[in-house]
């Protein structure tokens, strides 16, 4: 076994806690540097890992000990940090989305020849979505013909003390939750050729329900209910709904329908969960035994997959998913069906990998 893969983390907000839980004690990687807008926070995290140093961003991306930059900054900074890392020959793995805009993300991928670019969500590599993909790939529901993905809520102002971002350009239910669902549909059914979208904005203002600003009204600058139809290259058609304008739903997060059966999938915001199968002619759904994916995984498994020789959380997939989302909104605004300009290859299925195995490898 060679030296552990050196990781430098930029951005130590709330999500970093989950990444550190996955990567911090893994024998295949070593946290060698940290950077944050709050130097004290960077120093506090660095002190938890032997030999790790808190550095300014410009020094971290140039540090010889850093093999991969883990980019956990806000979306508006994703492209800037990724380009800086690539300019120094580093790999970069980032939180979703790949960049704040499709144009910025395309610029990042244009520089990817100097290093690997990876991107969340990596929940799709967990046992839930991968087990479902194994069923689809095995032909157990016949040729896939359709899928339905649904995520709805009454809006983040119900629980978030500062929800302003979610109602400004770059926010909204599609960009917030869409990557989990659309990346899952990509793994299940492959790339998308064209999309049609429709959207609405039922409320002009939202009222914050909790925290120091409770009762304050904030303006809604983006559409908060988005629906769409995705036409996959392989012929299947997916229908998607993302909304901040519904109390809830009893629908499965994702369903996939084939010529001889249907699948019900778990929440793609999580790594595990029960997959259920209903063959044509049966009245009942049956549970599918876990058959693929990283069991018990956490955020950062996409980076570990790369270190182990895989590239399943690849930036090309994230770019394609970002174009799907961008095109859905453009289609809704323009009232026409849009052809996509990007594509990506479905990565290999993740073999069933128990937590004890991937944590020790």
According to the model, what pLDDT value does residue 282 have? 95
Give me 264's structure tokens.
């019900």
According to the model, what pLDDT value does residue 165 have? 86
225 to each of 174, 182, 188, 289, how far by Cα in Å?
A: 8, 16, 24, 35
Helix pair angle (102-110, 75-87), 10° resolution: 10
Give me 142's structure tokens.
């016949």
Judged against a pLDDT cut of 90, whether residue 169 lies above it is answered with no
pLDDT digits (tens, 9 = 90+) for 250-287: 999 999 999 999 999 999 999 999 999 999 999 999 99
pLDDT digits (tens, 9 = 90+) for 60-73: 999 999 999 999 99
How is domain 5-119 classified at the architecture level of CATH? 3-Layer(aba) Sandwich (3.40)
**DSSP-based three-state secondary structure for 324:** helix
Superfamily (CATH) of domain 123-292+314-339: Dihydrodipicolinate Reductase; domain 2 (3.30.360.10)
Judged against a pLDDT cut of 60, whether residue 103 lies above it is answered with yes
Judged against a pLDDT cut of 70, whether residue 1 lies above it is answered with no
Judged against a pLDDT cut of 60, whether residue 317 lies above it is answered with yes
Question: Where in the chain is CATH 3.40.50.720?
Answer: 5-119
Residues 297 and 312: their CA atoms lie apart, in Å, by 14
According to the model, what pLDDT value does residue 152 have? 97
Question: Where in the chain is CATH 3.30.360.10?
Answer: 123-292+314-339
Give percent of the chain above pLDDT 70. Answer: 100
According to the model, what pLDDT value does residue 351 have? 98
Segment 47-61 mean pLDDT: 98
Residues 300 and 99: their CA atoms lie apart, in Å, by 18
Write out the H or E segment, with its range, that includes residue 317: helix 315-334
């Amino acid at each position: 076994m060679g030296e552990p893969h050196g990781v430098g983390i930029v951005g130590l907000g709330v999500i970093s806690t989950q990444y550190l839980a996955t990567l911090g004690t893994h024998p295949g990687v070593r946290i060698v540097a940290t950077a944050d807008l709050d130097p004290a926070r960077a120093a506090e995290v660095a002190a938890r890992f032997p030999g790790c140093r808190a550095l300014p961003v410009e020094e971290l991306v140039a540090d010889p000990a850093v093999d991969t930059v883990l980019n956990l900054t806000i979306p508006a900074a994703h492209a800037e940090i990724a380009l800086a890392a690539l300019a120094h020959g580093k790999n970069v793995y980032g939180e979703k989305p790949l960049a704040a805009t499709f144009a910025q993300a395309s610029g990042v991928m244009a520089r990817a020849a100097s290093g690997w670019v990876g991107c969340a969500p990596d929940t799709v590599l967990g046992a839930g979505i991968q087990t479902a993909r194994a069923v689809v790939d095995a032909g157990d529901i016949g040729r896939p013909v359709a899928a339905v993905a649904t995520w709805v809520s009454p809006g983040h102002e119900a629980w978030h003390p500062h929800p302003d971002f979610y109602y400004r350009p770059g926010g909204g239910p599609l960009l917030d939750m869409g990557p989990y669902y659309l990346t899952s549909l990509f793994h299940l059914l492959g790339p998308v050729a064209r999309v049609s979208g429709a959207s609405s904005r039922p409320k002009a203002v939202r009222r914050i329900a909790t925290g120091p600003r409770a009762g304050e009204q904030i303006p809604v600058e983006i559409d908060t209910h988005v629906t769409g139809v995705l036409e996959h290259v392989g012929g299947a058609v997916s229908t998607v709904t993302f909304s901040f304008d519904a109390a809830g739903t009893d629908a499965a997060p994702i369903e996939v329908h084939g010529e001889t059966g249907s699948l019900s999938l778990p929440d793609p915001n999580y790594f595990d969960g029960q997959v259920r199968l209903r063959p044509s002619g049966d009245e009942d759904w049956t549970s599918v035994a876990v058959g693929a994916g990283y069991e018990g995984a956490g955020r950062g498994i996409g980076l570990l997959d790369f270190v182990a020789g895989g590239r399943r959380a690849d930036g090309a997939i994230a770019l394609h998913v970002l174009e799907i989302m961008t095109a859905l909104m453009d289609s809704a605004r323009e009232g026409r069906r849009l052809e996509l300009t990007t594509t990506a290859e479905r990565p290999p299925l993740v073999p069933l990998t128990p937590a004890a195995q991937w944590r020790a490898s």
